[in-house]
Structure 1
């Protein structure tokens, strides 16, 4: 007989629910006992029935295990809380530093565009001018580099087109020479084929034959 899988939902029938509770409770207690013996683990199990009845199992005393759990929880929670606080502090400091950098960049951008120069001193303006001149020199150098690359590319294209043009001119000359040679040989063949012939139309002429 095939065993059907039990659906994980509340059993509506009270009698069936009580039977299932008793069977699974005993199985759970048995598994807890086996785990403590086979693996030398400290196990504590507490079960309250639907009617409030207490069932428990402990390999070394429930209260002792609960106290150990509470101490461990406080220690782990304290470390975790401290780590979280330190992490949050680092995140806040990084965010503040990033905000200051963004603000400085925005201010520098405005000054580069010629805005917000009123509070700047002469030294600040001179420094800004030097920075703009250096940027302009780099821009011009990059522009010249791009121009040189374009010129080299155009020269290469010109060389390639020149080679193609020379090849086409050579092919055209070869075809013209071949056409000229073919024309001369044709004329010679026509001249050799011309033959003089006498064609007489009508009755043959009578010739007087003199008798001796």
Structure 2
């Protein structure tokens, strides 16, 4: 029979809880013993029951294992402190370097704006001038490219409008060619209606004999 999966939550029934504790405790102690034998590991296991009873297993000496654990913990804490200290030093160094870079950029910016030039040497002024010339050349090249793109767009719009104008002109010419034929048909229809309206009609009231005498 397949056992169902045990839900990881507190067992409410006190008897079942005590039975489960006894079984699991024995199994855990057994696994700790097997691990120490099979893998030649130093194992120390401490268990307190719900009522406070102590159960323990140590492959060598519980006290020595605890001392070894405490020493290892202290060493780790010391190493972590050293690592944190080194990391802080590195961060401070990076922050100082970034502040210097920001200050250098601010000085360069003021020079490009024509400010704080009183203490500049000839070489520095020439360098600023050359940098400005390079910037102006780059701006002019970009400006020319933008103008070229706009001209190409306008030419494309002109081509589209010209094609649309030619299409409308052809349509207008076709309508003008059909107009005389339509006017001729309307004139003939008007003449036919006029001819049919010229027929005289008389209305006679009275007996047939009297109508024939008239």
TM-score, length basis structure 2? 0.69
Quick check: 1:43–1:59 contact (8 Å CA) kept in 2?
A: yes
Q: Whole-Å Cα distance in 2 between the matches of residues 168 and 24 of structure 1?
A: 95
Paired residue secondary structure (2:56): strand
Instruction: Name structure 2 gaps, 5 residues minimum.
Output: 1-8, 11-17, 205-210
Query: Which structure 2 residues correspond to residues 172-187 of structure 1 after superposition, within 5 A?
Result: 172-187=172-187
Instruction: Name structure 1 gaps, 5 residues minimum.
Output: 7-21, 207-212
User: In the alignment, what sits opposite 1:93?
Assistant: 93
User: In the alignment, what sits opposite 1:134?
Assistant: 134
* CA-based RMSD: 3.8
Quick check: 1:43–1:65 contact (8 Å CA) kept in 2?
A: yes
4+ aligned runs moved over 4 Å, structure 1: 22-32, 189-193, 195-198, 200-206
User: In the alignment, what sits opposite 1:103?
Assistant: 103
User: In the alignment, what sits opposite 1:58?
Assistant: 57
Structure ranking higher in helix proportion: 2
Paired residue secondary structure (1:117): coil
- Change in Cα spacing, 1:197 to 1:120, as seen in structure 2 (3 Å) is closer
Cα distance per residue 1:67-107 (max 9 Å; x no partner) = 22023223433433333233222222221111111111111
- Change in Cα spacing, 1:195 to 1:30, as seen in structure 2 (3 Å) is closer
Are 1:37 and 2:33 matched, yes or no? yes
Number of residue pairs aligned between Structure 1 and Structure 2: 188
Quick check: 2:112–2:128 contact (8 Å CA) kept in 1?
A: yes
Query: Which structure 2 residues correspond to residues 123-162 of structure 1 after superposition, within 5 A?
Result: 123-162=123-162
Q: Whole-Å Cα distance in 2 between the matches of residues 162 and 120 of structure 1?
A: 60
Q: Whole-Å Cα distance in 2 between the matches of residues 65 and 121 of structure 1?
A: 72
